[in-house]
Structures are given as C-alpha cells and as structure tokens.
Structure 1
Amino acid sequence: MPKELAKQYDPKGTEDRIYQNWCDKGYFHTQIDRSKKPFTIVMPPPNVTGQLHMGHAMDETWQDVLIRFKRMQGYAALWVPGTDHASIATEAKVVAAMREEGLTKEMVGREGFLDRAWAWKNTYGSRIVSQLKKLGCSCDWERERFTMDEGCSDAVREVFVRLYDQGLIYRGNRMVNWCPHCNTSISDAEVEYEEKDGSFWHLLYPVKETGEMLELATTRPETMLGDTAVAINTDDPRYAHLHGCHVILPLLNKEIPIVCDEHADMEKGTGVVKITPAHDPNDFEVGKRHNLPVIRVLTYDGHMTGAADRAEAEALKASGHASADEPEVLDCGKYAGMTTAEARKAILADLEAGGYLKSTEPLKHEVGTCYRCHTVIEPMVSKQWFVRMEPLAGPAIESVEKGEIRFVPERFTKNYINWMKGSRDWCISRQLWWGHQIPAWYCDDCGATVVAKEAPAVCPHCGSAHLTRDPDTLDTWFSSALWPFSTLGWPQQTEDLAYFYPTNALVTGYDIIGFWVSRMIFSGLAYTGKAPFDTVLIHGLVRDSQGRKMSKSLGNGIDPLEVIDQYGADALRMTLLIGSTAGNDMRYSDEKVKASRNFANKLWNAARFVQMNLPEDFAPGLPEESLLDMSDKWVLSELARTAAEVTANLEKYELGLAAEKVENFIWDIYCDWYIEICKSRLNGGDAAQADAARKVLVWVLDAALKLLHPFMPFITEEIYQALPGSAETIMTQDWPDAAAMRSWPQECADFEILMDYIKAVRATRSDMNVHPARKTSMVIETANPAAFQKGEAYLARFAFATDVTLTEKYEGSTDGMATVATPAARGFIPMMELIDREKELARLNKELAKAEKEAEIFRKQLGNPKFVERAPEKLVAETRAKLAAAEDKLANIRQSIQALG
C-alpha cells in the first residue's frame, strides 16, 4: 500500500531521506548500454576552496533538469561531477593557515607544503560536493573526478609533451600579466578591468640634436626608468625633422633613440609615446620591431629593482643558463626598493624639480586587476611557458562557424569568435607549488631542456645526472581545458570515452567563455579529433532584487544553503528556473522563493485531496471514453498540450519557459479548476462518474508529477510514492509522451468558452460583493450554444445559475441587468436578485466620490502649464494615462448607478 501523505509537506526531513535513498539504490549511476543513446554532461568543476553560491545553484539546477529529463526519455544519461584544484585560491588558503602558525612556504619546503595542501583538500574539498547533494544534483558520484587525480594528471602530462614535441609549447621571455600580490603570472582571461581614478602626467624629454622638448603623456611615470626609446609616426609632419634623432631620458641622463612606428597615433595627444618594452605589451611589440633593449625596473613583488636584483641577473647570464632574450635589470638607484606608489611620488617630485613635468591631467581609466585578489596588474617581461594559439584557434573557430558546436543563445557565438581571433599566445606557467608541476627538467651541466611524462634519469644530450625540474606549475585552466575527455579516461582509449564522448550540453556562465569554453573546444579538437560537446548553454548571473551583482562588499549575497534550510531545495530550484532565460541575468527575491514554496504546498494539498478520496481497492488507469465527461476530456487535452510544449521547450533549452508551463498546468488547470470540478462528482450519487473522476485525477497527477520531476525532484518523488500503482522511483519512469496521449479539440474548445464565461461572471459578482450563496437566473447570448448546453451543470455550480436561457440575440431590456462579456458570449444577470439595491447604491456613490477626487488631481496637474512644459515627458505621459484610466472608471461606476435606476 502507498504511504499516507502527511498533513503538511516538510522539506527538511524529506529531502535528505529521499536523496540518500537515491544514492543507496544507485539510481544516478549510468551504465554503458548499447541499446540506448548516450547523453553526457560534464559538470563545470567548482573550486575545492568553494562554497555553494547562487551562481553554482543556478548552474547545477539547469544541468540537473536536463539530465533528469534525458534519463526519463530513455537515454543513458551521464552527469560527470568533479572539482578543480584551483591553484591560486587553494595555495592562498594554505599559506594563510600556515601564517597563523608563523610558517612560510620556504620554511616547510615544497614537499612539506604539498603535504599540507593535500591535507587541506581532503578536509575541505568535499564540502562543496555535499552542498551540491543538498541541491538534489543527480550526478554519477561513482565517477567523481578531481583535476589533480592520477587520471587527469596523466592527461595533463600527455598534452604538455605532445604540444612541446609539435612546437606548440615553448618557453621564452614574453610580456605577461603579473600579479604582485599572488606573485605569479596570470592569463589575459584572468585580468578584470576596473574603472579607477588616475592621471595623465605630461612629461618633457629633451631632444639631443635640436635642444627642443618633446611632450608626451603617461599614466605610469615610474616605468620611465625603463624607457629605451620614444616613438613618433613616420607620417607626422610635426616631427619629420626628428627622424634619426635621440632624446635624453630625464633623471637618468641617458641617450635613447627616437623611432618611427605606427604605434604612435598622430590623432592622440602630442603623437609622441614613451617606449618601455619590459613593462607594456604594446611597447614590447615596438621593441621587437626596432630591436630595442628590454630593461626591467620592477621586481616581481612590486618594488623598484636595485643593485642586488641587477647582480643576480648578471650572475645568471654569466652561468650560461640565461637565454639570449633575457631582459636587462636596472639598478634604480635612489628609487630602489620603493613600491611603485612610493617611486611614482618620488619620481614625479624629481621631474618637477628638474623642469620635466609640464602638467597633470585628472583621468578615469580602466585598469587591469587580478581576478582573484583585485591587485593592479603589472605588465612584465618574464620567462614563462606559452602555448602557440594561432594553429589551435583556427580549427576551433571553424568548428563553431560550421555549426558543429552551437551557442544558446546564438549571440554568444560572436563573443567566442572575437575572443578566439584576438587571443595571444597563452601563458600557462604559474609561480606556485600547488598544481600540476611542469614536466620539464633542465640540465645543470649543459643547460638543455628535457620535456617528458616521467622524470629522466640522465640528460639525453650530455649524459649528466644533474637535472633540476622546473619549479613552476601549470595554469589551472590548462587541466580543466581537458575536462570533457580526461574525466572519461583519455589518453587511455576507455569504453567510457568511446561511448560517452563527445559530450552533449555544456552549461556555464557567459563570464568564462574565454577562460574555459574556448580552451575546451580547441583542446578537444586537437587531442581527440572531435568537438568536446555539441551545445554550449549559457546562463546569466543571479542578481539581487535591485538588479545588483551579489558581492561581499555590498553585503547582498544570498546563501543557497540557508534558503534550502528555510524553504527546501525544490523551492530554490523553481525560483532559479521560473522567469530565467538563456544568456540573461535574473533577479532573486524572497517573494519569488516564497511563491515557489507556496506552489509546493498547493501541489501537496492537491495530492492529499486525491489520496483521501481513493478507496482501498482503487485500480489506476483511465476509464473508458464513454465515461469521460467534458471536464475530463478538457484536462486530458490540456495535459497532452502541456506535455508537448514542455518537451519542445526542454529540447530547445528553454528551461524557464518549460518550468512555468508545468507550474501553470498544475496550479491553474489541475488544482484551481479540475479538482474543484471533480468535487461535486466525487460527492454525488453517480458511482460510475465518481470512479471516472478519481481515475482521471490520479492519471493526470501521475503525468504532471513526471513533467515536474526534473524541476522539483524531491516533492515529486514523495508524492509519486504515495500514488497507487507507483514504481520504486519516479526518476527512472518514462517521460510523458504527448504523441501517445488522447485529446479532444472540440470538447476542449467548448470547455474553454464555458470557463471564460464562468470567470467573467465570478469577477462581476466579486466586484459587486455578491455572496456565493446568492444565486440567480441568467440569459446567455451566444452563437455557440452547444458549449453552454453541455456545461449546464458547471454553470449551476460555478456561475451560481438557477436556470439558464440561451439565445442567439438578446432583445430584452437591460435595465437592472448586470452584463458580462467574453469573446464567445454575453450574459445578462438580474442584479436585483443578487444585491440589496440601497446598499449597492451607497457603495457605488462612495466609489464615485473617491474616483472623482483621483481624477481631479490628475486634471489639475495637466491643467498647470508649468507642469506640462517642465516635467519630464515620461511623467506627463504617465499622468495623462492615469487620468484616462480614472475617467474610464468613473464612466463604469456611473453606468452601474444608472442601471440600478
């Protein structure tokens, strides 16, 4: 026997119990089944440092909806979960914990540090996984992966060696984004731009040959110590006489050339730019074109270089282990050791004292910051490992342009293409200890570089056993770029890889198209020969009720776990679905989650009503068609329509629209109408009709629960288990097939006509404050009398009609009549049978006086010429609209008074 539903639904105890049962029974585990078509999603791996936030909640809810839907459709639906090692974030956490003990990385050494990092991961890394389970994620936890597990690590080494052997990975001194706080390079995708207050400082550089002063402007005067040229445009007539000349670099009294280069824009400023190849990406390219020296003036922790830094660089060169493109290091003299802020202040003071500072111009500009710590990025020439992007980007662009991979919404295709076409070589090395250590060794004797999956015993070039491994680790995104196939066993040709790859839908936010999506696409094509997925479904951000981004600084963040604790996971999931559309941000509010909780309660109460009206010997199944009445055919037709539309919406990744349609069907059609209609049949004397009503009630509820299950898995499972004839779980049941459902278009259309009329009558009675116990006769004018003839019993019960007269044209008097109108009919109802005339007149006159006051306020505003001339156009238009609405209201009230005589 199915269990009896409790009086009230309590998600707190129910959800954990149901989820544990799903896990215990292995319902989430997906077997290779050649008789089924696979459908695969890989979870964007959250950081092991992470805690579930609203972005995660939306991302995982969307994925869970798709995987539950496809599972019920009969696919071998696999959702691969996992977490990311998050190099920078995790290292920062471990370093901070060590600082509390008075320890540093250097004090414990690399091995000691990594022991602590793994211990931290083992302690805290499973936290977000447990939180994902609270949300109801139906992942195959038996296949859970970690970006630094042995399989994923093997894939990383394999890719690095392959790319190196193909000449697509190289090491060299290139311009990188350097974070002085994290003390590591970061990629272009990890730079966030923030508007900051700054200045343009206009400096004067003396020309050696003519004695004139060249004016140029800079936002970073502290880098001028590393200037190795100034540039003018070849076609600039103002400086034609200076071709081949030199300037004297202020403060250092050093001669540097004037070069002609397209980077100097004649339309901007004075058309003269300072060239600092070691600290500006554009200047670095100018330096390469003109073979300029590259001089570094900043240390990696954000200070000005000094004698010790210069000596260290020179010693490295003398040892023969420095490459020919190694930048020079300047001893900045009196500025050595200063922070960039301190040096800027001191250098500006000295420039002003020497007459080289012409003026200062306030400026608001976009400044690059580290996406992790928000420290201002210092562009630096640094020896790093890079991936050549051009050979990899071409096929990845072509794959999307050919339609092998599509973005939903389609507009994000342009974002992706622009990113790929504009991408520079990818800096993949990080100056960290936590992560995949670069598989490269340097020979201490001959200086050769050896790249291999396993540590070499000796140098293959000279036979020396003195090899030192590169201390750097790889960018976290290097390993997560392999996620769609490394999680399925690549580079081994596993059965999982052969069956489940390529994957199907990637669900992610638009903010990591460059970070991650682009890299997975070129990686999949390059290493497996196949696009890693066919669809990229983009969701937006979850913002607060005012539309602001959730952040710690604003204090407007919402903890999903607190919402789940208060309202249940189903309510949170539905809140993140209803009203959401692919690619667009959505607003979260308490009102929305309360509405979702109320829907859950509505469904629960409806299910209890159905259960309480079932006899012990009830046998589920639809009754014979001859026993179906008009409302049965209508609700079954509406079920078929809803099933078809929801299925189509989900196939097109319109998740929010699908959720809304299921909710509307359950709330409006099933609960508010069909259950109410069935009450008179259940309590009437016709046993056959009562049994037919019960069967349809259960049949429709069963199908509706299955349609709702991907969106609200917990409550649907609990109710489903209480239905007679239910299987052991709803999640493995067949998805409702609209094509196999009966529908009756004519009966459905007739019933809609009838309902429209009933709604109009009820609205009119409500406006007139008529008590439900007061009933009346009515005349209905309609060209479709069949709908009303078949629905006479419904008119009596829901329109409170004592008797009904049908006519094609009503020619009687309308005095004392209340009129209701729908597209298919007009009804005439004697008001005196409904109301107390004197009381209604008093009420209407009171309403009339109130409406007159409201209208007069708007008339006075619009009659004031100053208001009309000076107020914003939008406000004037709104006031005119309010006056028109007020006058319409007055006309309706006067008409009602006149009808009362």
Structure 2
Amino acid sequence: PEGEIYVGRTPPKGDGWTPEEDVLDTWFSSGLWPFSTLGWPEETPDYARFYPTQVMETGHDILFFWVARMIMMGMWFTDTPPFDTVYLHGLVRDKNGRKFSKSLGNVIDPLLLIDQYGADPLRFTLLTSGTPGNDVNLDEAKVEYTYKFVNKIWNITKLVNMNLDEDLPSGIPHQSELDLPARWIVSRTQKLIKNVQYLFDAYQYGEAGNQILSFMWDEFAPWYLEIAKHPLYNGTPEEKERAQRVMVYVLDTCLRLLHPYMPFMTEAAWRYIPHEEEALIVAKWPEANEALIDEAAESEMEIFATLVRDIRNIRTDYKVDPGKRIAALIAPGSRQKALEDYGYIFGRLCNVPEVTILSNGATAPENAASTVVDDITLYLPLEGMLDIEAECARLTKETEKLNDRIGGIAKKLANEGFVSKAPEAVVQRERDNLDQLQTELKQLNERLESLCK
C-alpha cells in the first residue's frame, strides 16, 4: 500500500509491497565504528579522549572494504581522520605456510581453539607469531605453549598474592634500601619497559610480546621470586615488606605491558594485587625510570647467576640428584662481602645451603669439582656429594664406550673407498661426530684423572 513502511523478519501479508532498493551493507556500519562506539554524536568523555586514535591495525585484504570507509566517514561526520597510521598485518596461514582451504583440510576453527585454550593464548600467539612483512603461520602447538605461559602468570600472581601483608605501602622503596636481587630486578624491569616502548613505536608488536614473556618466564619467576623467598620467610619485617613491594611493582608492570596482548587474563590477575586505578584497561601505561637502571647490580647478579648455572651443570655432570643438599667452598676474590650477604642465593636456586668462605690464597680442597667466575673460585667437595668409587666405575665404562665409537668412526674415515665414494655431506658428518666424541672423551678423562687418581 502506498505510503506504508514495513520492517520485519518475515514478508508482509498482501500485495503491492516493494522491497527497499538502497540497502547499506555491513561495511557501512563498520565504517562508523571509530566514533559511533564512543558515544558520537554526543560529546562524551570517551569520544574526547579516544577520538581520533593513532594506529589502525588490520589486514591488507580489507583496505577498501573497511579502512577507506572509516576514513571517509570520519572526515565527513567529524572533519577529522579517525587515525593517522594504518598497520597491516600478514594473513593467517597454517603451520606449513599454506592458505586455509577446505579442500586441503587444514582449516583451524578459532572458536575450538578458544574453547580449549582460551581467547588470550590465541590472541597472544597471533600477535607474536608474525614479523612485519610476513604472514602468520598458525600452529596449535604455539597456542598450547602460550596457554602454559598463562598458567605461569597465574602461578606467579598466586605466589605474590599469598605472600602480601595488609596495608602494604604502594610503590617500591628507595633504591638505597633495596638489596642486590631487588635492585637487579627493578633495573631489568626498567629496561623491559624501555624495550617494549621502543618496539611499540617501531610497530614490532610480536618482538615486544616475546620480550615480556621471556622476562617473566626466564628472569622474574625462576630467579627473583625464588630468591625473594629468603627475605619473605627468613627476613626481618622490614626486609619482608621491601620484598613484597618489589614483587607487586614488577608483577603490576608486567600485567600492564601484557594487557594489550592478554586483556582478559591480565585484568583478572591484576585484581589480586594492590592497585589504585579502577581497571587495568584504563590504568596508566608504564614509563621507565632511568634512575632505577643499575648496571652495577646487573653485573653483580650475573656473576651469581653464572655460579648458579655452573653448580647446576656440575651436579648434572656427576649425576647428583637435584634434591640432594650439597656444600660449597668459595675463594671470594674481591667479592667477599657480597658472597657473605647473598650466599643464601645458592641454597634457594641450586640446593647448596652450606657455603663456606675461604680466605684468599687458601689451599684448594682435594676431590672437589670447581668453577671460576671472574676472580671467584667455587669448589664442590665430591665426598658426600656422590659415591666416588661408583662414579669412577661409571666414568671408566663411559670412556670405554666412547673409545669404541671413536675407533669405529676413525676406521670408517681411514677407508679410502668410503671417503671417495660417499657424499661429501655424509663424510663431513662423520668427521664432525668424531670431533665431538673426542672432545667428550677428553672431558671424561680429565674428570677421571681428578676424581679417581
């Protein structure tokens, strides 16, 4: 009927109706997205704060469909372009770099991945798997790895939360009040903030995310949090409070940096530590404090870290149970006070609770494995650490096996027919194997000589 308008899910009854011919597709409403979501046409606080934005990130395949329309709509309705930079990511492909295709049977349903691992692990994986100019090869194993990282963050948050006292002062103590491990982790945190900001400014979002992961997984959790258990459980009330404040500061900073990658998990975890802002999504972005960068503390901690790694390697070489407590003797060189103050680090990180500081120039103990770091010499007495007679028998058996393998390869390489007829790559592989086995044999003989003389 003339003059009537009908809107519905089913066709109207009767005759004479004409379907609307000017239909706006989904890209029309999408083109309004930069400002319509912020309360436009009203002058809302969100509109004033967030429009225009700086960077628009999308795929090159919808430049015309979406990006161009957003720019045109923004210019028409607000006289302002909605963003100044368009960042184009690569297309998502399968783990072998092939396009997703039903015929290939390689299509990955993101909803299934989200059901299994969560939205944040998938989001982080996509953001960190690509490099500028390249497509993203999506491998479910990477999503699973990120899922484990999320669990790690939850465990870190739980550890920090369960060790906090009520009414904890905000912020970190003055640098002069911090112990060496705290100065180290605070300094490393400032460098992380600087690196992430630099990478963000350079649109290297994947590398920035990987650096946050590496910091939390390789430095904060296994080193500082383990070391901090000493002041938390054995320190004075003042030492305990300082450790708590440093833990909260570092975790808070990491969650803020991670929030663009993992908005749901970081928002939830952030509520378990003291904070002042209403929500993480509107919390202040971290800024590095150059005054807190402490190169001396980082150098000193690197010495402790090297000693810890060397102790772990010695334990592994001698097949010492990781749970077995052992003792250490240390000729301190120029670092006697640091070793006296922080010798507990060896107890926390490599199960060496008993550390004896020797006088410089003291005679080296017999039957001891040793390592030298800078001007420090550390000895691990083997008596009590392992059954020397059994270890000598094991080493002797290992050398016999190595000699047999070396003899077999040497005989093969002495055969002119093999060397002349076999592919060069095969011959070179045998030579490399021989070099490797000879190096291992030399190391075994040195240990046999020092232990079983």
TM-score range (shorter-chain normalised) is: 0.7 to 0.9
- Counterpart check, 1:543 vs 2:423: no
- Larger relative contact order (C-alpha < 8 A, sep ≥ 6)? 1
Tell me how far apart the structure 2 counterparts of residues 669 and 858 of structure 1 sit (CA, whole Å). Answer: 42
Tell me how far apart the structure 2 counterparts of residues 670 and 601 of structure 1 sit (CA, whole Å). Answer: 15
Q: For residues 732 and 865 of structure 1, do their structure 2 counterparts lie closer, same or farther at Cα, with a shift above 3 Å needed?
A: farther
For residues 249-291 of structure 1, the C-alpha deviation after alignment (integer angstroms, 9 at most, x for no partner) is: xxxxxxxxxxxxxxxxxxxxxxxxxxxxxxxxxxxxxxxxxxx
Pairing of 1:610-629 with structure 2 (within 5 A): 610-629=160-179
State the secondary structure of the residue aligned to 1:552: coil
* Residue among 805, 825, 837 paired with 2:388: 837
Aligned to 2:142: 592
Q: Is the 8 A contact 1:776 1:829 kept in 2?
A: yes
Aligned to 1:147: 27
Pairing of 1:46-195 with structure 2 (within 5 A): 146-149=26-29
- Counterpart check, 1:717 vs 2:267: yes
* Residue among 653, 675, 698 paired with 2:225: 675
- Counterpart check, 1:776 vs 2:296: no
Q: Is the 8 A contact 1:753 1:824 kept in 2?
A: no
Aligned to 1:604: 154
How far did 1:856 drift? 4.8
Q: Is the 8 A contact 1:785 1:806 kept in 2?
A: no
For residues 712-740 of structure 1, the C-alpha deviation after alignment (integer angstroms, 9 at most, x for no partner) is: 11111111112234533111100111137
How far did 1:652 drift? 1.0
Tell me how far apart the structure 2 counterparts of residues 498 and 840 of structure 1 sit (CA, whole Å). Answer: 73
- Counterpart check, 1:804 vs 2:353: no
Tell me how far apart the structure 2 counterparts of residues 523 and 858 of structure 1 sit (CA, whole Å). Answer: 72
- Counterpart check, 1:889 vs 2:440: yes
State the secondary structure of the residue aligned to 1:778: strand
Q: Is the 8 A contact 2:57 2:88 kept in 1?
A: yes
How far did 1:811 drift? 7.8
For residues 517-552 of structure 1, the C-alpha deviation after alignment (integer angstroms, 9 at most, x for no partner) is: 99789989x999998864443333433333433322
Q: For residues 547 and 867 of structure 1, do their structure 2 counterparts lie closer, same or farther at Cα, with a shift above 3 Å needed?
A: farther
Tell me how far apart the structure 2 counterparts of residues 741 and 828 of structure 1 sit (CA, whole Å). Answer: 37
**Counterpart of 1:147 in structure 2: which amino acid?**
W
How far did 1:859 drift? 3.8
Tell me how far apart the structure 2 counterparts of residues 757 and 663 of structure 1 sit (CA, whole Å). Answer: 24
Aligned to 1:687: 237
Tell me how far apart the structure 2 counterparts of residues 635 and 865 of structure 1 sit (CA, whole Å). Answer: 59
Q: For residues 704 and 852 of structure 1, do their structure 2 counterparts lie closer, same or farther at Cα, with a shift above 3 Å needed?
A: same
- Counterpart check, 1:880 vs 2:424: no
Bigger share in strand: 1
Q: For residues 495 and 620 of structure 1, do their structure 2 counterparts lie closer, same or farther at Cα, with a shift above 3 Å needed?
A: closer
Tell me how far apart the structure 1 counterparts of residues 28 and 60 of structure 2 sit (CA, whole Å). Answer: 26
How far did 1:888 drift? 1.4
* Residue among 267, 279, 283 paired with 1:729: 279
**Counterpart of 2:356 in structure 1: which amino acid?**
V
For residues 812-848 of structure 1, the C-alpha deviation after alignment (integer angstroms, 9 at most, x for no partner) is: 4586231224466443332224211022123323433
Q: For residues 551 and 745 of structure 1, do their structure 2 counterparts lie closer, same or farther at Cα, with a shift above 3 Å needed?
A: same
State the secondary structure of the residue aligned to 2:394: helix
Could you state the TM-score of these two structures normalised by the residue count of structure 2?
Answer: 0.80
State the secondary structure of the residue aligned to 1:538: strand
How far did 1:563 drift? 0.8
How far did 1:650 drift? 1.1
Tell me how far apart the structure 2 counterparts of residues 874 and 517 of structure 1 sit (CA, whole Å). Answer: 53
- Counterpart check, 1:816 vs 2:360: no
Give the number of equivalent residue pairs.
429
Q: Is the 8 A contact 2:58 2:87 kept in 1?
A: yes
Aligned to 1:50: none
State the secondary structure of the residue aligned to 2:190: helix
Tell me how far apart the structure 2 counterparts of residues 494 and 113 of structure 1 sit (CA, whole Å). Answer: 27
* Residue among 178, 181, 193 paired with 1:631: 181
Tell me how far apart the structure 2 counterparts of residues 625 and 561 of structure 1 sit (CA, whole Å). Answer: 47
**Counterpart of 1:820 in structure 2: which amino acid?**
T
Could you state the TM-score of these two structures normalised by the residue count of structure 1?
Answer: 0.42
How far did 1:879 drift? 3.7
**Counterpart of 2:87 in structure 1: which amino acid?**
L
How far did 1:876 drift? 3.9
Tell me how far apart the structure 2 counterparts of residues 519 and 589 of structure 1 sit (CA, whole Å). Answer: 32
Q: Is the 8 A contact 2:200 2:208 kept in 1?
A: yes
Aligned to 1:577: 127
Aligned to 2:305: 755
State the secondary structure of the residue aligned to 2:312: helix
Tell me how far apart the structure 1 counterparts of residues 188 and 279 of structure 2 sit (CA, whole Å). Answer: 25
State the secondary structure of the residue aligned to 2:357: strand
Q: Is the 8 A contact 2:170 2:245 kept in 1?
A: yes
Q: For residues 877 and 695 of structure 1, do their structure 2 counterparts lie closer, same or farther at Cα, with a shift above 3 Å needed?
A: same
Runs of 5+ consecutive residues of structure 2 not aligned to the other structure: 1-16
State the secondary structure of the residue aligned to 1:820: strand
- Counterpart check, 1:791 vs 2:371: no
**Counterpart of 1:838 in structure 2: which amino acid?**
E
For residues 551-590 of structure 1, the C-alpha deviation after alignment (integer angstroms, 9 at most, x for no partner) is: 2222122111111110111111222233431112343333
State the secondary structure of the residue aligned to 2:281: coil
State the secondary structure of the residue aligned to 2:88: strand
Q: Is the 8 A contact 1:627 1:689 kept in 2?
A: no
State the secondary structure of the residue aligned to 2:289: helix
State the secondary structure of the residue aligned to 1:829: strand
Q: For residues 529 and 639 of structure 1, do their structure 2 counterparts lie closer, same or farther at Cα, with a shift above 3 Å needed?
A: same
Q: Is the 8 A contact 2:90 2:134 kept in 1?
A: yes
Q: For residues 487 and 624 of structure 1, do their structure 2 counterparts lie closer, same or farther at Cα, with a shift above 3 Å needed?
A: closer
State the secondary structure of the residue aligned to 1:683: helix
Tell me how far apart the structure 1 counterparts of residues 380 and 150 of structure 2 sit (CA, whole Å). Answer: 38
Q: Which moved more, 1:752-761 or 1:546-555?
A: 546-555
Pairing of 1:145-544 with structure 2 (within 5 A): 146-149=26-29, 483=31, 504-509=54-59, 534-544=84-94
Aligned to 2:10: none
**Counterpart of 1:895 in structure 2: which amino acid?**
E
State the secondary structure of the residue aligned to 1:614: coil
Q: For residues 717 and 870 of structure 1, do their structure 2 counterparts lie closer, same or farther at Cα, with a shift above 3 Å needed?
A: farther
Aligned to 1:556: 106
Structure with greater Cα Rg: 1
Tell me how far apart the structure 2 counterparts of residues 851 and 697 of structure 1 sit (CA, whole Å). Answer: 48
For residues 333-363 of structure 1, the C-alpha deviation after alignment (integer angstroms, 9 at most, x for no partner) is: xxxxxxxxxxxxxxxxxxxxxxxxxxxxxxx
How far did 1:794 drift? 2.0
Aligned to 1:70: none
How far did 1:658 drift? 0.9
Q: Is the 8 A contact 1:751 1:787 kept in 2?
A: no
For residues 184-223 of structure 1, the C-alpha deviation after alignment (integer angstroms, 9 at most, x for no partner) is: xxxxxxxxxxxxxxxxxxxxxxxxxxxxxxxxxxxxxxxx
Aligned to 1:898: 449
Q: Is the 8 A contact 1:841 1:897 kept in 2?
A: yes
Q: Is the 8 A contact 1:778 1:801 kept in 2?
A: no
Aligned to 2:4: none
